[in-house]
Amino acid sequence: MTSSTDTDEHPEVTEISALAEGLLPPDRTADVRGHLAACELCADVQASLDEIRSLLGTLPGPVQMPADIAGRIDAAL
């Protein structure tokens, strides 16, 4: 894949992902948005990435180590 907005040349998946995170430079943001508006394939990639982000956001955080165990580990060190 290339970084062109022509529908024959698609932006990288990393660029599509970075767009959602607001990490692309303004000029590249406009190019990728324009491409997504014209390319169903890339719009589907964006929708899939959005769905993945949504699903990951529902996962519980890491399990906390019980304080007594953490204390014993600290004492042993």
What tens digit of pLDDT does each residue of 20-47 get?
999 999 999 999 999 999 999 999 999 9
Average pLDDT, the chain: 88
Q: 43-57: per-residue pLDDT in tens?
A: 999 999 999 989 888
Residue 57 is predicted with a pLDDT of 81
pLDDT reported for residue 5 = 42
CA distance 49 to 4: 20
Confidence band of 70 (pLDDT split at 50, 70, 90): very high
C-beta of residue 35 within 8 angstroms of C-beta of residue 10: yes
Extents of the domains making up the chain: 13-76
Task: Please tell me the predicted confidence (pLDDT) of residue 8.
Answer: 62
Q: Would you put residue 13 in left (φ > 0), alpha (ψ -120 to 50) or beta? A: alpha
